[in-house]
Amino acid sequence: MNNEKETVLELKQICKSFRQGSQKLDVLTGVDLEIKSGEIVALIGPSGSGKSTLSKNLNAILMPTEGNILIDGNDTKDEKKLWDIRQTAGMVFQNPDNQIVATVVEEDVAFGPENLGIDPQLIRQRVKEALESVGITELKDRQPHLLSGGQKQRVAIAGIIAMRPKCIIFDEATAMLDPSGRKEVYPGIVETENTAYFIHPIFTTYQNWAPAWYKKILRNELDRMLPNPLIQHNGPSTTQVTVLDQEQENRRIVHVLHYVPVKKCKNLEIVDDIIPLYNLKITMTEEREVEKIYTIPDKQEVPFVQDGKKLEFTLKEIKGHQMTAVCYKN
């Protein structure tokens, strides 16, 4: 039995260049990529690095200067296959206004399936499911131009979902939204066994607006992918515990940080007061046999219990920051 996943998208030595007057601008050079069914791939790079150019090549909006792109086996350079290619690879653009064509939300989501010649009854079912999947069922009778930026983007995503493509290409789908619009497009998460892909600038949003539930989302994903983490503690959410290996000294340094900053403005947090933390229990997964544990710099020994790979010790008092050395037997 052959369990190998089918290749949905394949790039072979893709090059793309543009002309600026008499000058040639190379945007993509020798790109090779293969994406199979069920895979999630994120393209990361600074503005102007060619992410949007590559995305538009994948949907046959642009054509490569050199090389070949195969979408479900169809070459994007074959004009007779363009319709099949765009059915297979759906695309969500940066600006939702470029994608919305109808005067009513429900009609806009139905536009793609109607052009595919799908039975009207099946279209209604697909539209219903697509609207439910992005959480805008209550907007189905609204006019798109009266919606917020975040709501429009969800309409655009629903329109692609209703077409049932084999893959969806998101070209920075929240880049054109203002802060309030980004909050409306909640971070969609595509999960595999050991990967979580956030279809949203979740780290930037957390840095700028710090909604607590973003931190909860990240923690949930880390707990899912790392069911047995290296280190755990019983402290509050404001406690950060990290580990630094020092191989030459045959030890690990455990850093505990506990501050409660007050947010004064968008990019400024101030620690007005240090709140002591008492009886912080730390549990570590430890392969090596531990000889002793002591605090730094005062070298006060800390009692510990090691049972197989499980190491436990308690720090009596932490005032802001505490370093602790876990030393191993030679």
Residue 95 domain-assigned (yes or no): yes
Q: Could you tell me if 113 and 164 lie in one domain?
A: yes
Strand residues in the chain grouped as ranges (E): 7-20, 23-36, 66-71, 74-75, 89-92, 167-170, 188-191, 196-199, 231-233, 239-246, 251-258, 262-265, 268-270, 277-285, 290-296, 304-307, 310-318, 321-328
Q: Could you tell me if 172 and 245 lie in one domain?
A: no
Q: How far is CA 250 from CA 60, 179, 283, 289, 322, in A?
A: 56, 48, 19, 11, 20
Q: Could you tell me if 195 and 54 lie in one domain?
A: yes
pLDDT score recorded for residue 70: 94
Residue 28 domain-assigned (yes or no): yes
Distance, in Å, from the CA atom of 278 to the CA atom of 296, rounded to the nearest integer, reads: 17
Chosen domain end from 191, 225, 259: 225
Range of the domain at 242: 231-328
Chosen domain end from 191, 206, 225: 225
- Residue 267, classified by CB atoms within 10 Å of its CB into exposed (0-12), middle (13-18) or buried (19+), is exposed
pTM above 0.85, yes or no: no
Q: Could you tell me if 272 and 243 lie in one domain?
A: yes
Residue 122 domain-assigned (yes or no): yes
Digit-by-digit pLDDT tens for the chain (330 residues) are: 456 778 999 999 999 999 888 888 899 999 999 998 888 888 877 778 888 899 999 988 899 999 999 999 999 999 899 888 888 898 888 888 888 999 999 999 999 999 888 999 999 999 999 998 888 899 999 999 898 888 888 899 899 999 998 888 888 766 655 555 555 555 556 555 666 666 556 666 555 555 555 666 676 777 777 767 788 899 887 788 889 999 999 999 999 988 766 666 655 666 666 788 899 999 999 989 999 999 999 999 999 999 999 999 999 999 889 999 999 998
Residue 2 domain-assigned (yes or no): no
pLDDT score recorded for residue 159: 92
Distance, in Å, from the CA atom of 71 to the CA atom of 81, rounded to the nearest integer, reads: 10
Q: Could you tell me if 126 and 74 lie in one domain?
A: yes
Residue 1 domain-assigned (yes or no): no
* Residue 54 tokens, joined: 């590559």
Q: Could you tell me if 79 and 175 lie in one domain?
A: yes
Residue 139 domain-assigned (yes or no): yes
pLDDT score recorded for residue 292: 96
Chosen domain end from 195, 225, 255: 225
> Tell me, what CATH number does 194's domain have?
3.40.50.300
Strand residues in 89-225 grouped as ranges (E): 89-92, 167-170, 188-191, 196-199
How many domains are contained in the chain? 2
Residue 25 domain-assigned (yes or no): yes
